[in-house]
Structure 1
Amino acid sequence: MTTSFTGGCLCGLVRYQINGNPIRFYHCHCSRCRKASGTGNASNLMVELESYQWTKGEHLIKHFKVPEAERFTNYFCSECGSPLPKIRPNMGIAVIPAGTLDSAPAMKPQAHIFWTSRIEWSCESGDLPVFEEYQSDS
């Protein structure tokens, strides 16, 4: 069964919709995710790119590509500064900041990644597995 869910930024000027099932759901503890989220980790849901679409305010989206990073680009609303989904055409996915969703997805977080980069005051692992790097389906 395919799910459909929506999300957007804090001011509501940028909106998106997903028509498909999430692929992965990770808590990332890398230093770049910490800086971009302003907290101890970023909780990100990955979806197939073809299941994702902007529905409102795409012209308000800005992004910042970390020059020395192979893949890290931060997308955000130019009005309110809220983080927004990161489009990764070369990987065929959209990376959704879970806090921008309007409701909780059916999938629960699966793991903590970049655990060795974790800041000491961040959340504990709980029952989730921890990995030193990004984990893919392979």
Structure 2
Amino acid sequence: MTTHSGSCLCGTVKYEIEGDFESFYLCHCRHCQKDTGSAHAANLFSQSAELTWLAGADAVTSFTLPGTRHNKSFCKLCGSALPDTQIAGLLVVPAGGLDTEISLSPTAHIFLSSKAAWEEASAGVPEFEGLPH
């Protein structure tokens, strides 16, 4: 069984995931674009892994978009996305919040009908290892 650890940006919330992820989706829906501020969300999904809050559980809050199943858990101090258990029997973990490496490659891009137009335009733009000078 695999163990992963993760944390928020400010370090207040720390967690551990015991178990394996069944899927890894890159979601391009408008809800995920809004709540990540990016072209897509990168979330790992598990129906069997166990989440344990190691620190900062009182700093974890969540938001459910009314009229939808779209939910986001986050640190109320720094806003970092955190694992979510709002859908019964499903653990959703933002891949970027993990402090350990994952070996699972993305399973699929989903909701491509909402894909940001500027995402396609990023092909061929200059790349830098850090902040450009």
Instruction: Give TM class, smaller chain.
Output: 0.7 to 0.9
In structure 2, what is the equivalent of residue 101 of structure 1?
A: 98
Correspondence for 1:51: 50
Cross-structure match for 1:3: 2
* DSSP-derived class of the 1:76 partner: strand
Q: Deviations over 1:33-91 (max 9, x none)?
A: 0111110000000123552221111111111111121x11111101111111111342x
Hey, which bits of structure 1, 4+ residues long, moved more than 4 A?
none
Instruction: Pick the aligned partner of 2:74 from 60, 69, 76.
Output: 76
Seen in structure 2, the aligned counterparts of structure 1 residues 18 and 59 have a Cα distance that, compared at 3 Å, is same
Task: Find the counterpart in structure 2 of residue 32 from structure 1.
Answer: 31
What RMSD over aligned residues (CA atoms) do the two structures have, in Å? 1.6
Unaligned runs of 5+ in 1: 125-138
- Rg comparison, structure with higher value: 2
* TM-score between both structures, scaled by the size of structure 2: 0.84
C-alpha deviations, 1:66-125, integer Å up to 9, x for none? 1121x11111101111111111342x111111110102211111110001111112269x
> How many Å separate the matches in 2 of 1:4 and 1:96?
13
Structure-1 residue corresponding to 2:108: 111
Deviates more, 1:7-16 or 1:50-59: 50-59
Residue 28 of structure 1 contacts residue 41 of structure 1 at CA under 8 Å; is this kept in 2?
A: yes
Identical columns (%): 39
SS of aligned partner of 1:55: strand
Q: What CA distance in whole angstroms lies between the structure 2 residues aligned with 1:93 and 1:120?
A: 31
1:89–1:119 Cα change, 3 Å? closer
1:60 and 2:62 matched? no
Question: TM-score with structure 1 length normalisation?
Answer: 0.81
- Counterpart CA distance in 2 for 1:99 and 1:78 is 17
Gaps of 5+ in 2: 122-133
